[in-house]
Amino acid sequence: MQLLQDTIQKIKKPDYSLAQEAQKRLDNLTKPQGSLGRLEEIAKHMIVVTGNLWPQLKNKVIFTMAADHGVTDEGVSAYPKEVTAQMVYNFIGGGAGINVLSKHVGARVVVVDIGMAVDLKPDPKLLVKKINYGTKNMAKGPAMSKEEAIASIEAGIEVFENEYGKGIDIVGTGDMGIGNSTSSAAIASILTGKSVEEIAGRGTGLDDAGLSKKIAVIKKALKINVPQPTDGLDVLAKVGGFEIGGLTGVILAAAARKVPVVIDGFISTAAALIAYTLKPDAKEYMIAAHCSQEKGHRLMLAHMGLKPLLDLDMRLGEGTGSAIGMGIIEASVKILTEMATFQGAGVSERNDAKKILL
């Protein structure tokens, strides 16, 4: 618990005074003011978050956390729970969507077993921080103990800190865990105050009957466990997952280090909601990569005041959205740091422009 408390205490609001300096440079680049839209907003946000007027994104890291969920016993997923381990083998073998997209943007992927139901063959590409062999069935009682919830978050903090020593300029979140959209919907319903029907989606592809069953299971879990909406640890313990806890730790640790963190889809945003509940200022360091196909995702982002960069009807997870988002963010930073100013390029400004000395 001490590591979690120490990390939360280190999270401070960014220095917003830097936004004015960032805006001056953006307005003096060789373009009409504001003509690059959200790319300019992102660039300014990166300066504020990092505290660096000339940010660089040389070291990009995506943390993909894997765990199993006891609630799969209720038949809430279109896939069997064995797929979690099978996909993790695919990650470390380099054949998954996250491998392709992370390579495309020059990010390294850290794959973590934080709670899979089985032990995988030892592999240098797999980091084992297992809290337990999957959560318990939340439809019958708490998914985990409070101690396990804390341990999962602190495992995420430790994983981040280990990589931070190797260099991190920006972080992405990713997940793998059959059944985790059920846990995430339960978390989102409690923390946003929205109904289960408004939040829960089809996950990996449930039909109408499967979706109805999923909603019923979530309602049952919430009725049995009664998670407290003001207590992020209580919510995580009662209806969460180990990978969700781990990603919560990554987000908190990144915020404590003033490292921007790119939030992936529905499951990653459930972790972001937990982090936001534990420390609202952590939200200032989050960038929503996209709005997924899960219908409740937009409501979750709106609850935290996050505006997604993209809307591509994605619903894969793994950190794929984070990878694509990193590419957009890097483009915005390069605009800021590599584009010429009017003075530098010898280009005339508009007739009514005020001269800005940089």
CA distance linking residue 57 with residue 338, whole number of Å: 13
Q: Which residues are known catalytic residues? A: 318
CB 58 within 8 A of CB 169: yes
CA distance linking residue 268 with residue 289, whole number of Å: 10
**Which residues have C-beta within 8 Å of that of residue 16, sequence separation ≥ 6?**
48
Return phi, psi of residue 245, to 5°.
-60, -45
DSSP E strand boundaries for the chain:
60-67, 107-115, 126-128, 170-176, 261-263, 286-288
* Three-class secondary structure of residue 17 per DSSP: coil
Return phi, psi of residue 148, to 5°.
-70, -35
Encode 169-182: b = buried (16+ Cβ within 10 Å), e = exposed: bbbbbbbbbbbbbb
Q: How many CB atoms lie within 10 A of CB 75?
A: 13
CA distance linking residue 249 with residue 236, whole number of Å: 12
* Three-class secondary structure of residue 60 per DSSP: strand
CB 170 within 8 A of CB 259: yes
CB 293 within 8 A of CB 269: no
44 CB burial (10 A radius; 0-12, 13-18, 19+) = buried
What's the sign of the alpha-carbon dihedral 333, 337, 341, 345?
Answer: negative
The DSSP string of 110-147 is: EEEEEE-SSPPPP-TTEEE--SSSS---TTTS-SS-HH
